[in-house]
């Protein structure tokens, strides 16, 4: 990606020379992109929308611009204002078995993808993955959401939308202004005139767009069991697996850290734990929250140290949120017409149950699989059952000891022709054996509960099959 970043954003003689042979391909791409949009705009290709408003957060440039942080911030704000939003994602580099696919609360990013996993964790809102966004939007509507926010998808014209938000990187903007592959543009510059709102990350307020700043929220160890602290002015290694690592490096420097080494894993890239350990030997490693979600549970399992996570939050103006909410409310008539048209075509909204429990699909063959909280709970139940079993065994041993004592006491009582000691011993035997029997029953119940917790077919998410 660094090659294209230099090609698209650097104003050097070498980049200009390299752009020349790619310009004919960019012209072809421009014609195809314009024709495709025209087909949808003029009704030659069908647009389908759900029966709830749709807010698309996307961009006209390739690479990272800050769409996911804005998506998270907007969903949180909508919830605070009384909406019940859901998020739709294409699930880039996800590995779901079928679609549409709900994202559980604690999930394996290898299966569900980096962004959907992060959005689900940060917002607690329903998140659905489906490359066919029209189908995924209907599925989300069935979950009972009253507004859908899509993470990317500005060019997915098959999905009818009500609000379009375009995000630009303030430090790079439109690059050299060419379309792919000679430049970073997915669509021509005029597309910016047709969107409802433009958000520019890392910029100050300016007429025509809304500024957005990524503000550091916290710095914490990747291994949450650790109590390590990384002080400002520390020399660090910046680890990045995002589309625009330069912005992350600058944020670290603005926080006062001295970036002595950089490791770019590529957009959505991941490395082995051994590689992370090796990087952390020389300098403390600091990564983004989007990267951390891929490694956190393995880091805790292997007790990794000297690796930290920089959490950031998108800071947007109240005017931006007001603008989006007003446009959502203004879309009510359009959404009602859309519903009426689809119902006339035979559409019926299918109710879907939201999966709130954590992911039961973690499998040994997945690299960096999530050690799910369900398994942790079952392990805790297993430990409790083992403790009960040990207690029961101990009680049984005591009962056997009492048997010996009782037998001797009974013989002594018989020889002395005394009946009271024998009665007391029999009573003691009954009490101890009853306790042992009760504890054994409790252990059996705990074992059955543990077995049920380890595999509950009804808890499997939609579109996923358990791998035995």
pLDDT tens for the chain, 468 residues: list them: 578 888 999 989 999 999 999 999 999 999 999 999 999 999 999 999 999 999 999 999 998 899 999 999 999 999 999 999 999 999 988 999 999 999 999 889 999 999 999 999 999 999 999 999 999 999 999 999 999 999 999 999 999 999 999 999 998 999 999 999 999 999 999 999 999 999 999 876 666 899 999 899 999 999 988 889 999 999 999 999 998 898 899 999 999 999 999 999 988 889 999 999 999 999 999 999 999 999 998 999 999 999 999 999 999 999 999 999 999 999 999 999 999 999 999 999 999 999 875 454 543 333 333 333 333 443 444 444 444 334 444 434 444 443 433 444 444 444 433 444 444 445 544 554 554 444 444 444 444 444 444 334 344 344 444 333
Interior CA angle at 267 toward 113 and 21, to 5°? 135
Spatial separation of the C-alpha atoms in residues 437 and 311, rounded to whole Å: 53
For helices 318-330 and 67-80, give the axis angle rounded to 10 degrees: 70
* pLDDT at 431 (0 to 100): 54
Residue 86 pairs in a beta bridge with 148
* pLDDT at 460 (0 to 100): 38
Between strands 147-151 and 163-169, the pairing is unpaired
Structure tokens at 243: 């589309």
Is 61 assigned to a binding site?
Answer: yes
* pLDDT at 463 (0 to 100): 42
Task: Name the DSSP class of 399.
Answer: H
* pLDDT at 376 (0 to 100): 40
* pLDDT at 205 (0 to 100): 67
Beta-carbon contacts of residue 354 (< 8 Å; ≥ 6 apart): 102, 126, 143, 144
Is 67 assigned to a binding site?
Answer: yes
Radius of gyration of the chain (CA): 30
Structure tokens at 414: 């018989």
* pLDDT at 413 (0 to 100): 41
Spatial separation of the C-alpha atoms in residues 234 and 312, rounded to whole Å: 19
* pLDDT at 5 (0 to 100): 83
* pLDDT at 81 (0 to 100): 98
Is 48 assigned to a binding site?
Answer: no
Contact 9, 184 (CB under 8 A): yes
Structure tokens at 133: 């966004």
Between strands 127-129 and 85-89, the pairing is parallel
* pLDDT at 387 (0 to 100): 46
pTM of the full predicted structure? 0.74
Beta-carbon contacts of residue 118 (< 8 Å; ≥ 6 apart): 68, 72, 109, 289, 290, 293
Contact 428, 402 (CB under 8 A): yes
Is 374 assigned to a binding site?
Answer: no
Interior CA angle at 108 toward 358 and 110, to 5°? 160
* pLDDT at 468 (0 to 100): 38
Is 262 assigned to a binding site?
Answer: no
Is 66 assigned to a binding site?
Answer: yes
């Amino acid at each position: 990606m660094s090659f294209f970043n230099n090609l698209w954003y650097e104003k050097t003689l070498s980049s200009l020379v390299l752009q020349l042979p790619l310009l004919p391909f960019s012209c072809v791409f421009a014609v195809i992109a314009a024709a495709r949009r025209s087909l949808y705009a003029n009704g030659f290709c069908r647009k389908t929308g759900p029966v709830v408003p749709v807010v698309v957060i996307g961009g006209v440039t390739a690479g990272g611009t800050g769409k996911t942080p804005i998506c998270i911030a907007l969903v949180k704000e909508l919830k605070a204002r009384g909406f019940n939003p859901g998020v739709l994602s294409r699930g880039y580099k996800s590995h779901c078995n079928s679609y549409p696919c709900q994202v559980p609360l604690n999930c394996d990013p290898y299966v569900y993808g980096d962004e959907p996993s992060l959005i689900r964790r940060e917002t607690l809102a329903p998140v659905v993955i489906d490359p066919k966004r029209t189908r995924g939007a209907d599925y989300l509507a069935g979950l009972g959401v009253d507004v859908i926010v899509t993470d990317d998808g500005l060019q997915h014209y098959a999905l009818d939308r009500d609000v379009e938000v375009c995000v630009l990187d303030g430090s790079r903007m439109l690059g050299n202004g060419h379309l792919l592959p000679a430049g970073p543009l997915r669509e021509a510059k005029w597309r910016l005139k047709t969107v409802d709102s433009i958000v520019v990350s890392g910029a100050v307020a300016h007429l025509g767009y809304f500024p957005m700043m990524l503000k550091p929220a916290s710095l914490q160890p990747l291994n949450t069991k650790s109590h390590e602290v990384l002080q400002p002015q520390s020399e660090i290694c910046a680890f990045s697996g995002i589309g625009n690592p330069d912005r992350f490096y600058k944020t670290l420097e603005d926080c006062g850290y001295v970036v002595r080494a950089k490791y770019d894993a590529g957009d959505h890239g991941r490395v082995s734990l051994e590689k992370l350990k090796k990087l952390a030997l020389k300098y403390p490693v600091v990564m983004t929250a989007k990267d951390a979600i891929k490694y956190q549970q393995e880091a805790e399992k292997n007790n990794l140290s000297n690796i930290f996570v920089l959490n950031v939050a998108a800071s947007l103006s109240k005017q931006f949120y007001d603008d989006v909410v007003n446009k959502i409310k203004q879309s009510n008539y359009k959404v009602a017409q859309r519903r009426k048209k689809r119902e006339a075509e035979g559409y019926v909204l299918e109710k879907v149950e939201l999966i709130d429990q954590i992911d039961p699909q973690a499998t040994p063959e997945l690299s960096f699989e999530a050690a799910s909280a369900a398994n942790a709970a079952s392990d805790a139940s297993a430990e409790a059952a083992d403790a009960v079993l040990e207690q029961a065994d101990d009680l049984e041993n005591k009962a056997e000891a009492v048997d010996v004592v009782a037998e001797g006491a009974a013989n002594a009582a018989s020889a002395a022709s005394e009946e009271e000691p024998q009665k007391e011993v029999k009573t003691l035997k009954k009490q101890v054996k009853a306790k042992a029997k009760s504890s054994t029953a409790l252990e059996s119940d705990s074992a059955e509960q543990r077995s049920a917790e380890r595999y509950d077919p009804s808890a499997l998410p939609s579109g996923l099959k358990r791998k035995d």
